[in-house]
Amino acid sequence: MMYLLALILPPIALFAVGKPIQGIINLIFFGVAAVLWFLTLGFLSFITFPIWIICIIHGVFVTHGVMQERKMREIAAEVSGGPMDG
C-alpha cells in the first residue's frame, strides 16, 4: 500500500513513513513541477515530466528503505528475544 502511495503521491508517502525532511524537499520539487505544468498549459512538460519521475523514484526508494529497515528490526528482535532500541 505504501508503494502505491509512493507512486501516486510521493511526498505524502514520505511523510507517512516518517521522513518529514525528505517529504518537504520532495513536496517542493513536486509542487514546482505541478505549478509549471499548470501555468504553461503543459508546454513545459519536457521539464516537468522528468521532475515528477525523479520525485516518484525518490519516494519509492526511501519508502522501500524504511520498510526494509522495519522488517530487519523485527527480525533482529525475534532473534535476540527482545525489542531492539534505535
pTM for this prediction: 0.83
Asked whether residue 53 is domain-assigned, the answer is: yes
Q: What pLDDT is attached to residue 21? A: 96
Asked whether residue 69 is domain-assigned, the answer is: yes
The answer to whether the beta carbons of residues 64 and 46 sit under 8 Å apart is no
Only one residue has cell 521539464, namely 47
Asked whether residue 33 is domain-assigned, the answer is: yes
Quote the domain boundaries for residue 29. 2-79
Q: What pLDDT is attached to residue 43? A: 86
Asked whether residue 44 is domain-assigned, the answer is: yes
Give Cα 62 distance to the centre of its chain. 5
What's the CA gap between 67 and 47, in Å, rounded?
Answer: 31
pLDDT class of 61 with cuts at 50, 70, 90 = very high
Asked whether residue 85 is domain-assigned, the answer is: no
Asked whether residue 40 is domain-assigned, the answer is: yes
Asked whether residue 37 is domain-assigned, the answer is: yes
**Domain count for the chain:** 1
Flag whether pLDDT at 86 surpasses 60: no
pLDDT class of 45 with cuts at 50, 70, 90 = confident
Asked whether residue 6 is domain-assigned, the answer is: yes
